[in-house]
Amino acid sequence: MATIHDVIAPFQLFQPTNLDDALDLLDEHGEAAMVIAGGMDSLDWLKDRLRQPQVVVELSQVSELRGIREVDGGLEIGAMTTLTEVAEHPAVIDRFKILSDAAALVASPQIRNQGTLGGNISQDTRCTYYRRGWACYRAGGNTCYADTPTAINREHAILEASRCVAVNPSDTAPALIALDAEMVIRRGGRERVVEADDYFVGPDTDIRHLNVLEPRDLLTTIRIPATWAGARFYFEKVRDRMVWDFPLVNVASAVRESGGRIVDARVVVGAVAARPLRLRAVERAVTGQALDEATAERAGEIAIRGNRPLRYNGYKVPLMRNLVRRAVRGGMGASNA
């Protein structure tokens, strides 16, 4: 186990004032560079000396990465836009309230004022063993310390574990996947657009990372199309404490209905796997069905198929089932645009 120093190792700090300069710095320094947005995740790594970059590129002065713009009935949100801005923006509340609800439930008001949407999406896992410097698979070792007979694994994965059982801690990620959002990634003069569902990866794809970002990449913009504007939305987060805490399980759904039947649906759960999971089998099962308790019950049972709970996180199975049930039927606590 690593020693926690709480003293940040020296590094060269750059604070670019425009996007081109930021991209040039990342291109120049490559793997030696670390990006800081709001710093809510990054500063922990630096204080514990578990990451010791030679160069830190701090983005708070890059105005091009901030703000919410209305485009063709949808939205473009700069990756450096704070979670408070996302939660309180009239266009987000009016058309895509699921994202407003998710952003408003992240951590505490102080953290939401500083933390960014891009940072919340791209933060690393909070697995205690990994964060404290144990040489696990995710850190380049050959063991998952959270998946042993004596491990403390109450917050860990019940689905899609492959050697590593860490989970993705983001609250906004499930909402963005439910909205069919796209992530705009820049590297130098090149840009690529990745669907939100493809932005996140599991350990079977890449055991060292939770998303597709590579050295020199920068997430610049989150695009939300008009597709789900005005749908019936639901977001719920279960956590140990009502403030600050990461999710034990969260769920996001978007449903279109007509004549009491579900026309189309998106259902996404978080904190049960290394990536937010879009429950496509649930979506197929409920489409065309009556929007009633029987459909919701069936959705909940389908959602938990293939679960593999660990010693201390079996409670996540009924919790996930019940959250999916509520998300499909949109009961008490539903959010409607």
Query: Over 50: is that where the pLDDT of 336 sits?
Result: no
DSSP character at residue 179:
T
Order of all β-strands in the sheet with 33-36: 12-14, 55-58, 33-36
Strands 74-78 and 68-71: antiparallel
**In sequence order, what are the residues at sequence separation of 6 or more whose Cβ sits closer than 8 angstroms to the Cβ of residue 257?**
232, 263, 291
Share of the chain above pLDDT 70, in %: 96
Query: Over 50: is that where the pLDDT of 337 sits?
Result: no
| E strands in the chain | 12-14, 33-36, 55-58, 68-71, 74-78, 182-187, 190-195, 218-224, 232-238, 249-258, 261-270, 277-278, 335-336
Closest residue by Cα to residue 304 from 319, 286, 326, 289: 319
CB 245 within 8 A of CB 305: no
Give the model confidence (pLDDT) of 86-139 as tens digits. 999 999 999 999 999 999 999 999 999 999 999 999 999 999 999 999 999 999
Phi, psi of 82 (to 5 degrees): -70, 155
Q: What is the pTM of this model?
A: 0.95
Q: Whole-angstrom Cα distance, residue 173 to residue 222?
A: 11
Lowest mean pLDDT among 30-39, 43-52, 79-88, 89-98: 43-52
- pLDDT band of residue 44 (cuts 50, 70, 90) is confident
pLDDT of residue 3: 53
Phi, psi of 332 (to 5 degrees): -55, 130
Q: Which domains does the chain have, with CATH numbers?
A: 13-61 (3.30.43.10), 63-122+167-227 (3.30.465.10), 230-330 (3.30.390.50)
- pLDDT band of residue 331 (cuts 50, 70, 90) is very low
Token couple for 121: 């999406």
Q: Whole-angstrom Cα distance, residue 128 to residue 166?
A: 9
- pLDDT band of residue 7 (cuts 50, 70, 90) is confident
- pLDDT band of residue 29 (cuts 50, 70, 90) is very high
Share of the chain above pLDDT 90, in %: 91
Mean pLDDT of all residues belonging to the chain: 95
Q: What is the mean pLDDT of residues 285-293?
A: 96
Give the model confidence (pLDDT) of 228-265 as tens digits. 999 999 999 999 998 889 999 999 999 999 999 999 99
| E strands in 179-305 | 182-187, 190-195, 218-224, 232-238, 249-258, 261-270, 277-278
